[in-house]
Every structure is written in C-alpha cells, then in structure tokens.
Structure 1
Amino acid sequence: MRFWSPTSAVALLGTLSSLFRGVDADLKGVFAHYLVGSMGGSDEAVKDVQDAKKMSIDAFALNVQDVSSSWATNAIQLLFDAAAANDFKLFFSFDMSVLDQPSTFLPLFKQYQGNSAYYRHEGRPFLSTFDGGSKSFGASSPNAGWQSQLKDALAADGINPFFVPDFDDYGGATYDANFFNNYPVVDGVMSWESAWPEVSEGLVNVSSAKDQTALVNAHAAGKVYMMPLSSVQFKHIDPGQNWYRRGELNLPLRIGQVLALQPDFVEIITWNDAGESHYIGNCWPEAIAGAPAIQAYSNGYDHMHWQDVLAPFIVAYKNGATSLAQVTPFGAFAGAFWYRPLLKSASCSGDGLGKPSGWENAEDLINIAMLLPATSSGVTLRVYSGGSVVATLPTNPGLNMATVPIKTGPQRVELVAADGTIMGAGSSTQDVVADTSGVCNFNYQVVHIA
C-alpha cells in the first residue's frame, strides 16, 4: 500500500509556493472545460450551470468544434441563458484541431462576447483554444496569423480579447522563453498535455515540471498561465484513439501541485468529455447518442463524486492555500474512492480494439482521497477488497490520499473515528473482475464516502 500525508505529497514542491505568491486579486479563476454537444433541453444546461456554481467554479470553457450546426448553436444559447439566469459565466475555447481558421469562429465570438454571462478579465472577453499554435493561416508565422486574423480583425470592431490559448502543438517541448518571444499575440497560455503523464513516460506519477517552466516564463513576459487539473485520460473509440494515460492518484497529486505553484488560473479537464473519461459532471445522453463506442465505456460510470474532493480545493486555492493540509471539508469530512473494475492483466479477447496503449502503466489499486477538518485526530481509513480488510491507514487533517492493491470482488472504504465508530463509508457499485469478453474498459468507478 502507499499513503501520502498532506505534508509529504508536495514535499518536493514546498519551496516553490513562495515564488508565486502575491497573485493579482483579479486572477485565480477556476474553470471547467465543457464539450459543447447536443442537449435535450434547457433543464440540462441549468443543471450543469448550477452544479458547477455550487463547486465555486467561475466559468465553463466551452469547447466549440462546430460553429453553425443547429445542435451546436442551440446548445450554446441554452448554456448562455442558463448562465445569465444563475449568475454564472462562460467563455469560448475554440477547437483548432477541427476548425480551420479564426474567421470561422469570429461571428460566434462577436455574437456572445458582449453577453452579460460572458467571462471577462480586466474588462476584456476571455478567449481560449484547444491547439492552434502551429497554424499560420497563410501568414509568415503562427503569431502573425493569429495577430491578423484574430486580434486585428476584432480590433476593427473595438474588441480586445484576453487571449489565453492552449498552444501545446506549437512545436516545442514546453512554454519556454523563446515561445513568449515568438508569440507576443497571446496574453497567456494554457497547457492541456501536462495534466497527465505521457504514455511513453511509463509508470510514473504526473509531474508539474512543464507547468513550472511555463509559469516562470509567462510571468517573465508579463503573461498569465492557466494550469490544467484532471483525473485520467482513457479513450477507446477506434484504432487511432485507444489509449490510457494514468489516473490512479493523478487528481489529488495534481491538486497538490496547483497549490504549490499558485498558477493564475486553473482549468479542470473536463466537465463532460465522456470520450476521454475525465468528466466530473453529467454526460447527457444526447451528446453521445451517435457514439456507441463511447457509450460502451462511459454509461454506468458515474464520476460526480470527484466533485466532493474538488469543491473544497477550489475554495482553498482561492483563499491562498499552498498545501494539502489546508484543504479541509465543508463539514465533518468529505471523500471518495475510485477503482477500475477490470484488472490490467485482462486479455479482453472479445474486444476488437484490444487493450489501450499505456495499459501497462495502469495499476490495480483502490485510490482514496479523504478530506478532514483541522481538528481531526486519530481517524483511520479501513479498506476492504474482495470481502476482507486489506489495510488500515492513518490520516491527518486536510486532504489525505492513499492507494491500496485491489482484489477481485467488492470494494469498501470506511472512515473510522478514534473511538472505533464508523463515521462514514462507501461501497463499490461494480465488482472487480480479472477478465472480460466484452469491452476492455479502463474507465473508473467513483464512489462517495458518505
């Protein structure tokens, strides 16, 4: 078993927090990446907005891949209506892996950038992308292309966006000083890829090294850095989209890194991307109605209780917390555990796609995140796997994280007070199996400890 205390989890980053303190009060926004898809009605938009607001999320970053089809424009309008009615914000993150050039999305941006629900920073409409750092749009360089087709084109209408794209695809390993010299068009940057270990890195935990480099160089250039925070990335759609990027304790480890680095903004990946399995909110059936492959590994896999861990973190981050010990629950405790119901050794003989690349980097574990108040003392976690107790773990005040090797069968985690009484517990919703003739599913079941 492995157990991380709030102090040891960020020991290597402890000295870094002092480097990034004194953040502008207008910063520290927390967003959730939201894949725009078909919606069944306004009730779905309202539910998403209200759930996110309860977590203290400031805005959805609307990933837009289609700017003209009615299913997309209707969903966007429903979301803006819901946001306006609930004092919530939205901004666009245009998907440049699909869209060809800024002129494609500028009419939609112009339509909504003045909306009361549109998120603004320093009085300017916030604008992001997924990719686009390598695209020049016929200009002499990507920077010249974005300057002419985005900034200059909008300036003609008196609009000055606060442009914070994800330009991971620009061609460099990370956002170094040369990037900011070559891309003065940006007001900041966001990274998508640093949220998880790469498949090629093997069995390692997520690192914040790329984020540290980006943050230092962004600030040196007078820019901002938006740091990604995610749980896992598992895709199982077709031969070209079949991979596993480590989950395990990725989410709480990443929380510790955010608190240590104190980035200007945080973007949670994602609210509802069922295709990549890192959703923390509802995945409405209309959005994946035409994607049976995604339905096969996301239907019945509820991730809502990752919100129980994230909500106290968001409040702590905004209040200046720099360590996991400062992330405390709103009540007596809060927590969840998550596990894969299929062992990594499974043959998956009936699945034509086979095991995802990176499967060997997975670990057969019960992963636990438990938040306890500052006054907590003598509380332990009792972990059952396969019907028997496999671990009893100590805890500390703040956000605790731990892993325990998993066995086939049912799973259960109990929170036990110093006097032996059970304060809370959660039981698995699906037994762990050693093999399957069905889908080779590396998605997670997330269980509430209540």
Structure 2
Amino acid sequence: MAATAVASDDRLIFCHFMIGIVSNRQSPTDYDDDMKRARSLGIDAFALNIGTDPYTDTQLGYAYQSAAKNDMKVFLSFDFNWYNTGQTSAIGSKIKQYSGLPAQLKVDNKVFVSSFAGDGVDVNAIKSAAGEDIFFAPNFHPGVGDFSTIQGALNWMAWDNNGNNKAPSPGHNVTVSDGDRSYIKALSGKPYIAPVSAWFSTHFGGEVSYSKNWVFPSDLLWYNRWREILALRPRFIEIITWNDYGESHYIGPLSSPHTDDGSSKWVMDMPHDGWLEMSRPFIAALKANASSADAFVTDEKLIYWYRPTPKSVNCDATDTTMEGNPNNSSGNFFRGRPNGADSMEDSVFVVSLLKSAASLTVQSGNKSQEIKVSTGINAYSVPMGVGKQKFTLTRGDKTILSGTSLKDISDTCICGIYNFNAYVGVLPDESAIDQLQPAGLALISQGLKVACPTNTLSAKANIATVSGSLRGSM
C-alpha cells in the first residue's frame, strides 16, 4: 500500500514528537492513544524527531504501523544535535527505508522530511541517497542555511527571545512574529512551517550531563499565538511539542508511555492536555480558512493554568542547580532561579470558550476577582495568590461551571526545586487524572535534597467531593 499524497493547496498541522524518550514502548499499540488523540484534534501528522539511538528503528516501525492503523500520517525529523551534516548517506538511507510505508506523509507527490537544525547539510546528496525526490522542509535558519535547495522551512523559535536563545532582555526582543517575517522573506514564496508552542521551561542541574536552566516568556503564549496563526494562515504549522517533557512544552498526556530524562521533578502533577482542548476550535477554524475561531466553539469550557509557586519563592538552599560543577559548554546552564524568570507574570491565566457572555469569578488564594466574560474565545489573567484556586462561571442567577483545582499554589519549594512549569486544568472536568507512569518517574529523586511525594493529585481527588473538584483534562 503506497503512501497517500497530499494536494498542494492543503493546509496541514504537524506536532513534534520525541522518539528519543519512548524506548520503553513494546508494540504499535503503545502509540495508538497518541495517534487517536492527535487525529481527533485535527493534527494531520507527527514529526518524528530522531537521533542515532539503537532503538530508533524499532520505535519508528511501531509508530508507522500505529499511524497507518489510526488514519494518521508521520514523517522523519532528523535531530542535528545527534546527526551531523556530513551524514548525508545515512540520512538518505533512513528516508528511503520509510518512504514507501502507508503512513508516510507525502506532499506534492514528494516524501516529506524535516529536521531540528541542520544548516549546511548537502540536500542534493540526501536526495541522491534517498533514491527519490523529497519535500525537504528543515529547520534551516535565515542567513545561515541555503534556502535555494529546500522546498520549505521550519521555524523552531516559537517563543519571544533575545536573538540568542534566551528570554528577551532590554533592547533585545525578537518576537515570534518577527521570526515569521524573517522566514517568509527567506523562503521567497516557498511554504513556511510556522511554530506554535504553549510554554518553555527547563531546569536540569548537574545531576545530568545536559544541564540547562532557563525559561522563555510563556504566560498567554498559547492563546496569543493561535490568534496570530489565524491571521497568518501559513500552509503548514508545527506544534512544539507533543511530548518534550524536559522543556515543559508538551501538550500530550503525562501518561503517554515514556522514559524519564530527569524532568519528572517538574513534570509530575503538572498535566497540560487541557491545552489540547483550547486549541480544538482554533484548529477547526484554520482548516476552514476562517479568521476567527469563535464560531467553532462546540462545548463551553474554561481552560486555566498557572505556575505552582510565585517567582519570589527562594529555593536556593535545596535546588538541584546549586550543586556541583555542571557542564556548561552549551551556555544554557544557570544556577538557581531559571534565567528569564522575570519575564513570567505571577498570574493565573484563564481562557473561556463560551457561546454567550457570562460572569467569571476567580479566587486565587485570598485574592478574588470577578470578570465579565465575552462570547467566543477570550483570555484573562488575575493576580496569583497562595492557596486554593477556585473558578465559578455564572449567567444571571445560574451557575454554569464551578470547581476547585486539585493543584494549590504554594509558597514553598515543591520537591525542593524551582518549578516554572505550568499546571493546566479544564472546567468542566470529565476525565480521569493524567499522571506519570512508573517509567516516567524513574529518576524523580535524582539530585533532590528533600522528599518528593509522587502523583499527589490522585490522593487529593480521592478526598474531594465530586461537585467541588477540578482536574487536569485528559
């Protein structure tokens, strides 16, 4: 069965998927839930990020089989943190190995291939080794990679930055829209893969060899970027990411089978899959070529998120980044509070998906605020308060939605570390609690100085009343 070709005028939505952390998957069935969830959301294909791990082909085989069974497409995205630009024969051979499988994405009758980084790679040599024409849309950078040799390009920088892979600083702010313009100019009419991401926070210390510790400003990024995408209307978009827990920009479930790279310390009890629900009407609007997603709200919901502690909380005495002499050859390691922390607000963020106007009351700790909420999809923020997080939506005298989050905001260092990840919840909550499985928790104690109870949301849910609890959507 040949791979299905996609017409040149189709708009496609991809999501980046990290193969490097799923070595524990045992069969195609372990990919089925990811494929079904993504497909139901309107995602067309997973970009399968691969390095040179010995289990890569086994897991690619499982992923391609599951995708074919679940009406999804997939394609290879070569990670040049592991590949080097001289490996054109190996890259071409890998493309050839999977190009004829049923789930392989083809665009304009060409095998679709992408990358993370890779400027300077010989595209013609890759095509020769692959033995057929490819639609190569790598993560080349304007002014660095040769854009004349490619069919499209992915912009990875989905976050406002300083132009040097860190949070903006005074006089140095490159917005995501600035990146859009730069890529569109460099592509000169060729298709652009525009990035969409919800968050960025990473906090690896000397307990691992890949120490890095910074954030990008992310507060209402997920909402604002989707609105930009509807105005930009690129042919392709790529959600960054489905399952990169280490950089906190996952939108897939915590329960998705994966191994622990040490990120469980800030990922445990921090579901993000509510962001899937928020994106659903935006994806539908994009597919319909609509300029607004308001008409695509089918079920009224509140999506909310916040960091688990105020940024002023001092964790230096117990934080993992304060110990030892970590490798900082990348320049991405900082001790203590993450670099860029001041770019984040101490706020609770709420996005409402409503068919008619209502009144929203958010009680964050001892702070309470009432907001008049408009029809459609709108975003709001209220000051963060330590304690329980409660949400009530009313119309007239009728309560439409109400509940209390299972995740309190704390003024202590959870697990002893600085945690700038986001907890995401949904109202109404209609699902089981999303939590890390044993393999995803394997390294949670690595480097910690204090005890770190695991999967505490489950315990809280067991003692909460059914009518008064909220949980992260799954």
Q: Give the TM-score band, short-chain normalised.
A: 0.7 to 0.9
3-state SS in 1 of match to 2:77: strand
CA distance in 1, matches of 2:374, 2:178: 27
State the partner residue of 1:320: 289
Distance in 1, Cα, partners of 2:403 & 2:409:
15
Instruction: Indicate the residue corresponding to 1:434 in structure 2.
Output: 411
Partner of residue 157 from structure 2, selected from 173, 193, 198: 193
1:87 is matched with which residue? 71
**How far did residue 324 of structure 1 move?**
5.0
Aligned to 2:25: 40
* Residue in structure 1 matched with residue 198 of structure 2 by the alignment: 231
Measured in 1, the distance between the counterparts of 2:136 and 2:318 equals 46
Distance 1:40 1:163 in 2: 28
Aligned to 1:119: 105
3-state SS, counterpart of residue 52 of structure 1:
helix
| Structure-1 residue corresponding to 2:435 | none
More helix as a share of residues: 1
Structure-1 separation of matches of 2:159 and 2:73: 23
Contact 1:342 1:435 in 2 (8 A): yes
1:199-210 matches, within 5 Å, as 199-202=166-169, 207-210=176-179
- Residue 420 of structure 1 is matched in structure 2 by 397
Q: Distance in 1 between matches of 2:294 and 2:283?
A: 14
**Partner residue of 1:242 out of 213, 221, 236:** 213
- Which residue number in structure 2 is paired with residue 152 of structure 1? 128
Give 2:243's match in structure 1, choosing from 263, 269, 272: 272
Q: 1:343 aligns with which of 291, 295, 310?
A: 310
Tell me the CA shift for residue 26 of structure 1: 2.7
Q: Does 1:161 align with 2:130?
A: no
Query: Structure 1: which amino acid aligns with 2:148?
Result: P
Is this contact kept in 2: 1:215–1:263, CA < 8 A?
no
Query: Residue 155 of structure 2 aligns to which amino acid in structure 1?
Result: S
Long gaps (5+) in structure 2: 1-6, 322-335, 429-474
Where structure 1 has 5 or more consecutive residues not aligned to the other structure, the ranges are 1-23, 134-141, 173-178
Q: Could you say what secondary structure the match of 1:184 adopts?
A: helix
DSSP 3-state at the match of 2:227: helix
Aligned to 2:446: none
Pairwise CA distance, 1:114: 1.0
Contact 1:205–1:250 (8 Å) recurs in 2:
no
Contact 2:160–2:168 under 8 Å retained in 1: no
Work out whether residues 121 and 162 of structure 1, in 8 Å CA contact, stay in contact via their aligned partners in 2.
yes
1:264 Cα offset (Å): 1.2
Q: Give the conservation status (yes or no) of the 8 Å contact 1:214–1:225.
A: yes
Aligned-partner residue type, residue 397 of structure 1: T
Check whether the contact 1:426–1:447 (CA below 8 A) recurs between aligned residues.
no
User: Per the alignment, in what secondary structure is the counterpart of residue 63 of structure 1?
Assistant: strand
Structure number with greater CO (CA < 8 Å, separation at least 6) is 1
Counterpart residue number, 1:30: 13
Query: 1:91 corresponds to which letter in structure 2?
Result: F
The 5 A counterparts of 1:5-16 are none
Q: How does 1:370-409 map to 2 (within 5 A)?
A: 370-373=352-355, 376=356, 378-387=357-366, 390-409=368-387
Matched, 1:98 2:82: yes
Q: Distance in 2 between matches of 1:197 and 1:426?
A: 36
Q: What letter matches 1:35 in structure 2?
A: M
Aligned length, in residue pairs: 392
What TM-score comes out, normalization by structure 2 length?
Answer: 0.78
Tell me if 1:330 matches 2:295: no
Shift of the alpha carbon at 1:165?
Answer: 0.7
Go from structure 1 to structure 2 and tell me whether the alpha carbon gap of 1:97 and 1:398 turns closer, same or farther (over 3 Å shift): same
8 Å Cα contact 1:383/1:414 also seen in 2: yes
Partner of 2:337: 355
Where in structure 1 do 4 or more consecutive aligned residues deviate above 6 Å?
Answer: none
**Letter of the 1:27 counterpart:** D
CA contact (8 A) 2:92 2:127 kept: no
Letter in 2 for 1:342: T
Q: How far is 1:39 from its partner?
A: 3.5
Q: Percent sequence identity over matched residues?
A: 30
2:17–2:242 CA contact under 8 A, matched in 1: yes
The Cα shift of 1:379 comes to 1.1
Partners of 1:269 and 1:162 in 2: how far apart?
20
* CA–CA separation in structure 2 for the residues paired with 1:109 and 1:32: 19
| Partner residue, 1:449 | 427
Q: Which residue of 2 aligns with 1:175?
A: none
Determine if the alignment matches structure 1 residue 107 to structure 2 residue 93: yes
Contact 1:91 1:126 in 2 (8 A): yes
Q: 1:183, CA displacement in angstroms?
A: 2.4
Amino acid in the other structure paired with 1:330: T
- State the 1:91 CA deviation: 0.6
Q: Which amino acid letter does the alignment assign opposite residue 80 of structure 1?
A: Y
